[in-house]
Structure 1
Amino acid sequence: MKRLLLLFLLILSCFQRSGLPSIEVYTLDNEKVNLSDYSRGKVLIYVWSRTCSGHSRDLKELPRLVSKYTVISYAVGMTPDEVKESYKQLGIRPNFLTLVDPAIKFNDYYPIVYLPSSYLFENGKLIRSGPGLIVQ
């Protein structure tokens, strides 16, 4: 029953909004950017926080996906410095974009049911989401 409810919430979140929301987030250099600026082509947003389990394994898989997608490591509830420290501790040198959302604004548009989770967009339209690292 609990799984059905979670599945329903994920499906519902797909219909609530379309496209990458206009959210002001930060790069690792603490520069402000807008998430909606990354709406072209296939975009994989991997949402994580250092407190979620499984993120270290998934983050190490992201580099192999950059040839197929615009890969965005999307850290929530953290600062750019905390993300850099997490990467350092995990031995990750990202070849993918990292955006930081300290206020977890993404959740206002696409409810985050699982951490970590992934959202796959094509030309700004959400085509798939789910727990952990998903790819098509």
Structure 2
Amino acid sequence: MQELQHLFPRLRSYIFYLLALYVLGLGFTPYQTVFLGLILGTALSLYNLWVLVRRAKQFGQALDEGKRPRSVGTFARFATAALAVVITISYPNTFHIIGVVMGLMTSYLVIIIDLVVQNIRRRWEER
């Protein structure tokens, strides 16, 4: 569980960089609805990642203390995704549904890419 605690600041900064790119895309391209969808989905994805890290820490503490651990917040993450879809359906001229879905998946893609890069970096240093 400690690994996730140390990983979160790096992942958060990567997601903030992506959000900055999305804001630039919003300002300089004619695809405002797509970039607004990406921004909404990515912001909620960052929130889901934060919830996961916080709940994982609580889960580990409960195991260390011998208590019965709570869940890792799966329902809260599903509810956040449902909120994103409700917002998108309520304002279809503002948010693009595909952009929101892609944004919701951003944190998982960032985690996978970061793990691949860290493994390559570790192997390179072992040489």
Structure 1 or 2, whichever has the larger Rg, is 2
Which structure is higher in helix share?
A: 2
The TM-score, its normalising length taken from structure 1, stands at 0.28
